[in-house]
Structure 1
Amino acid sequence: MRDSIAHSHGIPVILNPAPARALSDELLSQVTYLTPNETEAGILAGIAVNSLETAKQAAQILLQKGVQHVIVTLGSKGALIVNHEGVQHIPGFPVHAVDTVAAGDSFNGALAQQLTSGKSLKEAVSFANAVGALTVGKAGAIPSLPWLAEVEQFLKQEAARLE
């Protein structure tokens, strides 16, 4: 099966299951990081996802299918990391959403960049949340993608705001 090349060579696989549709258990068992939004998580798990608790339940079902880490993206509520080590909610950032068109793509790109840079999963998801928050603040797909300096400045401002 062609889909197993990366998995068979020990290369981490990140799968953003968009657009939402059912996927085989065989494919899911080869995924290192699965990043569904609430709708996608519900379709993949076969349950309605409308809260942190149901997101956790859906993620647990997906872990049973062989996914190593499930990161349910929750929009302004952040993301929920579920793996065999436990469950961790990574809060989102309060922003005014203008256009959500590239939010998932920017989140996944940022997650991949951070993981390949050696960041922990928690750090990578927090950074990806910030990228997603900045992305929805502008209209359009490509024009909304933030530069690294913008993300770093945003994170500094958010840290100062919370102090």
Structure 2
Amino acid sequence: METSAHVPVVVVGSLNADLTVRVQRHPRPGETLTGDGGGMTPGGKGANQALAAARTGARVAMVGAVGDDQAAMVALSLLEADGVQLAAVARREGPTGLAVITVDTKGENSIVVVPGANAGMDAAAVEVHGELIGAAQVVVLQGEIPRSGIEAAIGCATGRVVLNPAPVLRLEPALVRRADPLVVNEHEAAEVLAQLAETAHDVPAGTSAVQTTPAADPRALVDSLLAAGVRSVVLTLGGAGCMMADAEGITAIPAAQVDAVDTTGAGDAFIGALAGRLSTGADLRDACRFASQVAGFSVQGVGAQPSYPRLEDPLPPLAAHAAS
């Protein structure tokens, strides 16, 4: 079933309503704290990335699902306002996905996600939109829908696959190697590398990430992922920027020079901006530099989607040098 005309960027993933609470500090186990309610805003890693891509000027379609509750209107509100095509978003009985987010005074967050309608995005639900996915220049995927849906989307894709396995699921190694790029933080990189290592003849199945990955060395992590057959890698390092690697080598890219207010959704802003810029034909290095600026802009505002820049917003400069 075709749901839309050819669209350069197709995001297959989650849509949530985010309930944000601001706290002085994050609670300890068993502790109750009083916080300030920030209200409910649209979220979900898939929707966040779709919005960030659209706000770079890219034409974007979203493939996903929401429930039949009032939270669905919240989840779709900014995507609709910014022109993301939503014909491939299903409306299901039951609740929309929900994320409960606590943000401390340093801007650091912790998040608990209840999947809701996202749990129904399996292979069958994704393959209905195979023509839309197959026609895209860039297909963007995360880890907040079922494994079978992610694998089906990669199978449908003929263009570039941007894979952000967050949270990390156990995917077919051959499909992980389709990523171009694989976008991961250090923890996710170690988990993915451990899974890929299990398929190597000289590594016994079940070997842990601690035994198979160079834990404290970002460059070694990137080298190891390339050696394991991943086409290109972007390793995000928070306030230290990112490290990207492809067949031409490894480049360290600095973060933007900003004072962070709220880091919620900054990684999604990075990935959406990256996908949007790649869809214009930019090379991966230039796309990463642009994405770092967009992510830097986003941490200066509160929440995920509401903090993402539009085309007219001036982006912060990158630091002169990447952190070592």
Report TM bin, short chain.
Answer: 0.7 to 0.9
Q: Which runs of 5+ in 1 are unaligned?
A: none
Amino acid at match of 1:62: L
| C-alpha contact 1:28 1:65 (8 A) present in aligned 2 | no
Amino acid at match of 1:154: L
CA-CA distance at 1:20 after TM superposition? 3.4
Tell me the residue number matched to 2:155: 4
Counterpart check, 1:98 vs 2:261? yes
Tell me the residue number matched to 1:44: 192
Amino acid at match of 2:167: P
TM-score w.r.t. length of structure 1: 0.82
Q: Which of 243, 266, 289 is equivalent to 1:80? A: 243
Identity, % of aligned positions: 36
Q: Which of 126, 133, 140 is equivalent to 2:296? A: 133
After TM superposition, the structure 1 = structure 2 runs for residues 11-160 of structure 1, keeping only pairs within 5 Å, are 11-45=159-193, 46=209, 47=213, 49-50=215-216, 54-150=217-313, 153-155=314-316, 158=317
| C-alpha contact 2:186 2:237 (8 A) present in aligned 1 | yes
Q: What SS is found at the alignment partner of 1:148?
A: coil
Distance in 2, Cα, partners of 1:92 & 1:28: 26
| C-alpha contact 2:214 2:220 (8 A) present in aligned 1 | no
- Between Structure 1 and Structure 2, whose CA radius of gyration is higher? 2
User: With CA pairs under 8 Å and 6+ residues apart, which has the higher RCO, 1 or 2?
Assistant: 2
**CA root-mean-square deviation:** 2.0
Q: Which runs of 5+ in 2 are unaligned?
A: 1-150, 194-208
Q: What SS is found at the alignment partner of 1:154?
A: coil
Distance in 2, Cα, partners of 1:74 & 1:116: 24
CA-CA distance at 1:28 after TM superposition? 1.2
CA-CA distance at 1:21 after TM superposition? 4.4
Aligned length: 151
Distance in 2, Cα, partners of 1:49 & 1:134: 30
TM-score w.r.t. length of structure 2: 0.43
